[in-house]
A and B are shown apart, each in its own frame.
Chain A
Amino acid sequence: MSLTKYMWAAFGLALALIAQPKAGYAQDCTTKIGAVLPTSVDWGRPIAETAQFAVDQVNAAGGVNGCQIEMVLRDTQVDPKVGVDAAKALVDLEGVNLLLGAVSSGVSMPILTSVTVPGGVMQMSCCSSSTAFTKLSEEGKTNGLWFRTFATTGVQSAVAAKVASDQGFKSIAVLYKNDDWGQDMARLIAADFAAVGVEVTASVAINDGQPSYRGEVTEALASQPEALYLALYPAEGTAAVREWISLGGSQKMIMANSLKSDEFRDNVGLQYLGSALGTDTASPRTESADAFRAAYVERFESEPNGPGLANSYDAAMISLLAMQAAGEGATGAEMAAAVPKVTDPNGTPITADTEGFAQARDILAGGGTVSYQGATGDVRFDANGDVSAPAVVWSFNEGGTQEVEYLSLAEVDAFIGSLK
């Protein structure tokens, strides 16, 4: 039967492909890092591009420990099976000790439990927000290998509660995206609103891709809230807010950072968003954040306005700084242990660009520590690999968004403390 022969031939070919060494790259020495990101999804591609941008800057500064960095990028297709397989291939076949990704918590989690923790690989995600990671880490099951630059939903929800209380709202309805992030957000925001004395009249889940949200919006409207809180993404946010306003809902709105998009502003109409306030964790105050924005605009010819871009940049940059700090040939665990050295609040501040990386390398070589001033502010991880961050309150204007209020890290921490 010739078919069997074909099977063996195909199998042999596959083996040969796997075993074949990478054909001659001109670089003297290359260190590979892995990235598993949903590049087949429209919003996933810019996240990957931004990570590659950070890698390019580091390479321009001479690379890490004298070696150029090659980021091997694999697509997750937002499918856990595909993501886990890609991560395993990166760890086993490409030999990476550092993995960036994934975006969805439902993909990051099985990668963490079945690939990176058993394999001793450091994993840093730009965007996974589930509180399940914090819990896993508290139980000591991440071995300290897990980090994320996406501030936990706690910061956003606390700042939203502060906005509601500052604005003097008495009651509010919540519309949230029906995924892990949205459900976490809805749970936290209910507690935080209650803590500042704002009544939550309704909390309604919004599923993706529905042609109309009239039923959901009517339910929220029927509870007669004074204001509306939105934990939604631009596509379904636009649809829901249009229905909300056309049915006579209040224009007093508080939005999560996911709605900080030109698409949402244009499709809803700026005239309806005059009293809408947004929250975000990015800090536009530090020089390095400005440098990031300027560099991003120069490189991609657009503002870094999509979700997760600044976080993706910081994830890549901090990981590479930690790799530098851990020294040549470091294991994933050693890199993870070196993260505090590059995010030390008492260290020398460095900017998030090529010069910043070069400067950090010299300081680290001299045994010092640095304080990375990133695109999302002066990032600092807690014991569970979570970040707290400074926050801003923003609103829409003709050019995009403008800052209304800035809350430093200390102010955010103090306010979160006062809620408990």
Chain B
Amino acid sequence: MIGVLSYLVFFATTASILAIAVLGLNLQWGNTGLFNGGVVAFFGAGAYGTLILGGPPQEGMVGGFALTYPMALLGGMAVAGVMAWIVGLLTLRLRHDYLAIATFGVAVAFENLMRNAEWLAGGAKGVRGFERPFREAIGDGFLYNLVFFVAVLLILIATYVFLERLVASPFGRLLRAIREDEEAAQSLGKSPSRVRLTAFVTGSVIMGLAGGLYGTFYAFVSPQDVLPTLTFQVWAMLIVGGAGNNRGAVFGAFLIWGAWTISGWALSRFAPVEAQLYTGSVQFILIGAVIVGMLVWRPQGLLPERLIVSQQGSNPVNKRGE
């Protein structure tokens, strides 16, 4: 039974890391209406940033600063944040699908940069990370994975609480106001462009945090980790879970990652031997079908956004939430 437990801990760690990234996207899309098609670029910036800052010196590469772990992780988040700030300044005046295309382009450019910049990121070989933190004290086995999982879970909870409070605050209302009607918000003296940039950078820093944890967990990152598939996966998690609802974002991450892994496992275990070679393709069909089904029958997600009328006036504008 220890095997099952060990695997579940491993699974939950990956799912929690992805959930953090989905929370970041939820702030951008769910609450502010920013269509970020380049999730993987900010995730990757966090992963590369953390490993380059915290890693040991490697031949023929800059980096190897060997910072202590929390510094490296914060550094990775900062790299993601700075990148988001620059990208945001350039692209945030774009709306909807235009913004999606621009950010998607940024993600592709980021992957190509990492693939080619051997001096910076090891090129296609990738960056080998540092020894996992505290490994010497805890050892390498199940206990380590358990401790790491608890740490990731605490970070996930902290991110969740932070975002819940943010969204409930006046700033959160402002985000939704801009999402719903930017001109109305502007007419009330708000500055949509600055608020959009703040939300974009904050969400990206959270994605960078997820990337940093991911790089730490695998002690390795390569251009194969920053392919557009990840953007697609994170979006699928948010759409299925429910955009605009942080609980939905976390739930969607666990559900989709669970479906992704359980379907592979179940097919390898229960499909007949002759069909074994085709399970990979079957899995793609299954997951694609689930997402299409969700979009057709429950586009608001499993846990839809709860609209709150924060000040009950004599004439409530919106009664949908009741």
Q: Which residues of A contact B (CB under 8 A)?
A: 3, 7, 14, 17-19, 22, 38-41, 44-45, 48-49, 52, 72-75, 77-82, 84-86, 88-89, 91-93, 95, 104-107, 109-110, 113-114, 117-118, 130-132, 135-136, 178-184, 205, 207
If A79-B227, A93-B3 touch, does A110 touch B220 (CB 8 Å cutoff)? yes
CB pair A182 B124 closer than 8 Å: yes
Q: Within 8 Å of chain A (Cβ to Cβ): is B260? A: yes
* Cα distance, A3 to B224, chains bound together (Å): 36
Q: Is the CB of A92 within 8 A of B229?
A: no
Q: Is the CB of B124 within 8 A of A183?
A: yes
How many B residues, CB 8 Å from partner?
A: 55
Which B residues touch A181, using CB under 8 A?
Answer: 124
- Cβ A113 vs Cβ B219 within 8 A: yes
Interface 9-residue window, one of B75-83, B89-97, B274-282: B274-282
Q: Which B residues form the contact surface with A (CB < 8 A)? A: 1, 3-4, 6-8, 10-11, 14, 59, 112, 115-116, 118, 122-126, 128-129, 140-141, 144, 217-220, 222-225, 227, 229-230, 251, 258, 260-262, 264-266, 268-269, 276-281, 283-284, 302-303
The complex places the Cα of A73 from the Cα of B280 at a distance, in Å, of 10
User: Nearest Cβ distance between residue B238 and chain A, in whole angstroms?
Assistant: 17
Please tell me if the beta carbons of B224 and A107 are within 8 angstroms of each other in the complex. Answer: yes
Report the Cα distance A135→B118, complex, angstroms. 16
Residues on A with C-beta less than 8 A from B227 are: 79
- Minimal beta-carbon separation of A83 from chain B (angstroms): 9
Contacts of A82 in B (CB 8 A): 260-261, 264
Whether the Cβ atoms of B224 and A79 lie closer than 8 Å is yes
A34 to B223, CA, bound (A): 26
B220 and A89 contact, CB distance less than 8 A: no
When C-beta atoms are compared, the residue in chain A nearest to B233 turns out to be A81
CB-based contact A118/B140 at 8 Å? yes
A-B pairs, top 5 by smallest CB distance, nearest first, are A40-B280, A75-B280, A106-B224, A92-B7, A180-B124
Candidates B258, B261, B284; contact of A40 at CB < 8 Å? B284
Of residues B140, B222, B283, which shows the largest number of chain A Cβ atoms within 10 Å of its Cβ?
A: B222
Q: Which residues of B contact A91 (CB under 8 A)?
A: 3
**Overall SS of chain A's interface:** helix
Cα distance A181–B251 when bound, in Å?
39
Inside 8 A of A117's CB, which chain B residues have their CB?
140
Q: Give every chain B residue within 8 A of A84 (Cβ-Cβ).
A: 14, 218
Once A85-B14, A92-B7, A105-B125 are accepted as A-B contacts, the answer to whether A75 and B264 lie under 8 Å apart by CB is: yes
A-B contact list, 18 entries, CB within 8 Å: A3-B303, A39-B277, A48-B277, A73-B276, A73-B279, A79-B224, A79-B227, A85-B10, A85-B14, A89-B7, A92-B3, A92-B10, A113-B218, A118-B140, A118-B141, A118-B144, A130-B125, A132-B122
Contacts known (A105-B125, A131-B125); A205 close to B261, Cβ less than 8 A: no
The residue in chain A whose Cβ has the minimal distance to the Cβ of B229 is: A79
A180 x B222 contact (CB < 8 A): yes
Closest B residue to A187 using CB positions: B118
Chain B residue, CB-CB nearest to A72: B268
What is the minimal beta-carbon distance from B211 to any residue of chain A, in angstroms? 12
Other 13 A-B pairs with CB < 8 A, given A38-B280, A48-B277, A91-B3: A40-B280, A75-B279, A75-B283, A77-B284, A78-B224, A81-B225, A85-B10, A105-B125, A109-B126, A110-B218, A113-B129, A131-B125, A207-B112
Minimal Cβ-Cβ distance residue in B for A86: B264
> Known contacts being A39-B279, A73-B276, A85-B10, is A114 close to B217, with CB within 8 Å?
yes
User: A78 CA to B220 CA in the complex, in Å?
Assistant: 15
Q: How near does chain A come to B21, taking the closest CB pair, in angstroms?
A: 12
Judge whether B258 and A14 touch: CB under 8 Å.
Answer: yes
In the complex, what's the smallest C-beta–C-beta distance from B267 to chain A, in angstroms?
A: 8
Measured between beta carbons, the chain A residues less than 8 angstroms from B261 are 82, 85-86, 89
Partner of A110 from B7, B219, B268, B283 at Cβ < 8 Å = B219
Question: Which chain B residues border A38 with CB–CB below 8 Å?
Answer: 280
Q: How far apart sit A207 and B229, CA to CA, in the bound complex (Å)? A: 18
Whether A40 touches B14, Cβ cut-off 8 Å, given contacts A104-B224, A106-B126, A178-B116, is no
Most buried by A among B8, B217, B224, B227: B224
B residues within 8 A CB of A207?
112
**What chain A residues lie within 8 Å of B129 (beta carbons)?**
113
Task: Check A109 against B220 for contact (C-beta < 8 Å).
Answer: yes
A88 to B7, CA, bound (A): 7
In the assembled complex, the Cα of A41 lies from the Cα of B278 at a distance in Å of: 10
Contact A19:B4 (CB < 8 A) given known A75-B264, A106-B223: yes
Residues of chain A within 8 A (CB-CB) of B280 are 38-41, 44, 75, 77
**Taking CB as reference atom, which chain B residue is nearest A92?**
B7
Contact A180 B3 (CB under 8 A): no
